Structure 1
Amino acid sequence: MTRYAAFLRGVNVGGVNLKMADVAAVFTDAGFTDVKTILASGNVLLDSSASTAAVRRTAETALRDAFGYDAWVLAYDVDTLARISTDYPFERDVPEHHSYVTFVSDPTVLDELVTLAADAGETAARGDGVLYWQVARSATLNSAIGKTMGKKRYKSSTTTRNLRTLDKVLR
C-alpha cells in the first residue's frame, strides 16, 4: 500500500463546488482506503496499491461519474511530494509574497511554462515535474503564469498549490 496525495484541479474555485466529505466518500467508493481531505481546495490523501497513473485515472473517473464535471487530478506518492516541497529553490516565507508549486504531468507544458516565466522575468524555476514560482500577493492573477493557468490547454495537466498548503498535506 502506498500513501498518495491527489490534487483536484479547479475545485471550489471557478464554479466547481464540492463538499470534501462527498469527495472522500466518492474516493472510498472507488476503492481507495484511509481517505482524508485537507482544506477545501481539493487536496486528498489516500492509500492505494495501484500505480500513480492508475490512481489518477481512477480518481478522475470517480469524480466525473459522481459530480458530472470535467475532473482533472494529479497524484503523487507522499515521498515524492515531500521531496518536491524540500526542493523549493527560493526562500519559503517572503513577506507579502506567495510561494507556489505548479504540478505538471506533461513535459511539453512544463517546458512552455518555464519559458513563459523566464520571458516574463518572473521568479520561477523548473523542478522535477513541477514549476516553482513566487509572486507578490497582489500580483498572482496578473502574473504571466497566473494568467496562463486558467487557459483550457493547461487544465488537464497542471494544478497549482501554495507551499503552505503542501506543508499541511504532508503533516
Structure 2
Amino acid sequence: MNSYAVFLRGVNVGGITIKMADLKEALKSRPFSAVKTLLASGNVVLSSDLPAAGVKAEFEACLRETFGYDAWVVVLTADRVAALVEACPYPADDASTHSYVTLSSDTAVLSDLYDAGAALDGVELTRLGPEAMAWLAPAGGTLDSPFSKLSAKPKYKASTTTRNLRTLVKVRDAAAQLGAA
C-alpha cells in the first residue's frame, strides 16, 4: 500500500465549491483507504495499491462524476512531498514574504512556466524537481505578484496548482502519518 498526497486545482475558488466532507464521502467508492482531507483548499492524503497515475485517473473521474466539473489533480507520493519540502530553500514562515510551491502533472508545462517566470524582473524561482518549483511573493501581495499573474494563465490551468509552503508541510506531515500507521 502506497501513501499519496493529492492536490486539487481550483476548488473553493472561482465558483467550484466542494465541501471536504462531501469529497471524502465520494472517494469511499474508489480504490483508496485512509482518506484524509486537509484544509478547504483541496488537499488529500490517502493510501492505495494503485500507482500514482492510477490514483490520478480515479480521483479525477470521481470529481468529474460526483461534482460535475472538469477536474485536474496533481498526485505525489508521500516521500516525494517530503523531499520537495526539504529541498525548498525558502522559509515556511517569514514576516515579509510568503513561500509557495507550484506543482505540476506535466513537466513540459512546468518548464515553460519556469522559463517564463525567470524572465520576469524581480521574481525569485527555484526548481525543486521535474514536478515542482518554489517561489516567493511579498506578504499581502501574492495575487498581485508578477509570477502569480503569470501562473494563472489558462495554458497552465490543467496541469499546475500552487500551495503555500506551510500547507505543503501540513500535507507532508499528514502523509507521513499514513505511512507510519
- Give the TM-score range, shorter chain: over 0.9
* 1:170 alignment counterpart: 172
TM-score of the aligned structures, taking structure 1 as reference length: 0.95
How much has 1:93 moved relative to structure 2? 2.5
Aligned residues of 1:113 and 1:131 also touching (Cα < 8 A): no
Once structures 1 and 2 are overlaid, which stretch shifts more, 52-61 or 150-159?
150-159
Q: CA deviation at 1:97?
A: 1.3
Does residue 155 of the first structure (1) align with residue 157 of the second (2)?
A: yes
Contact 2:138 2:145 in 1 (8 A): no
1:54-93 matches, within 5 Å, as 54-93=54-93
Letter in 2 for 1:104: S
- The runs of at least 4 aligned residues of structure 1 exceeding 3 Å deviation read none
- State the SS of the aligned residue for 2:15: coil
36-45 or 88-97, which deviates more: 88-97
TM-score normalised over the length of structure 2: 0.90
Among 136, 141, 144, the residue aligned to 1:142: 144
- Check if 1:133 corresponds to 2:129: no
Instruction: Find the residue that maps to 1:5 and give its secondary structure.
Output: strand
1:13 aligned partner: 13
**Residue in 2 that maps onto 1:123:** 124
Q: Distance in 2 between matches of 1:132 and 1:84?
A: 9
Aligned residue number for residue 105 of structure 2: 105
The CA distance in 1 between the partners of 2:96 and 2:17, in whole Å, is 28
Describe the superposition over 1:134-159 as per-residue Cα deviations: whole angstroms up to 9, x where unpaired.
11023211222211232221111100
Secondary structure of 1:46's partner? strand
Return the offset for 1:91.
Answer: 3.3
Higher RCO (C-alpha 8 Å, min separation 6): 2
Could you tell me the percent identity over the aligned residues? 45
1:45 aligns with 45
Matched AA of 2:162? T
CA RMSD, 1 decimal: 1.2
Unaligned 5+ residue runs, structure 2? 174-181
Structure 2: distance between partners of 1:166 and 1:36: 14
Structure 1 residue identity aligned to 2:4: Y
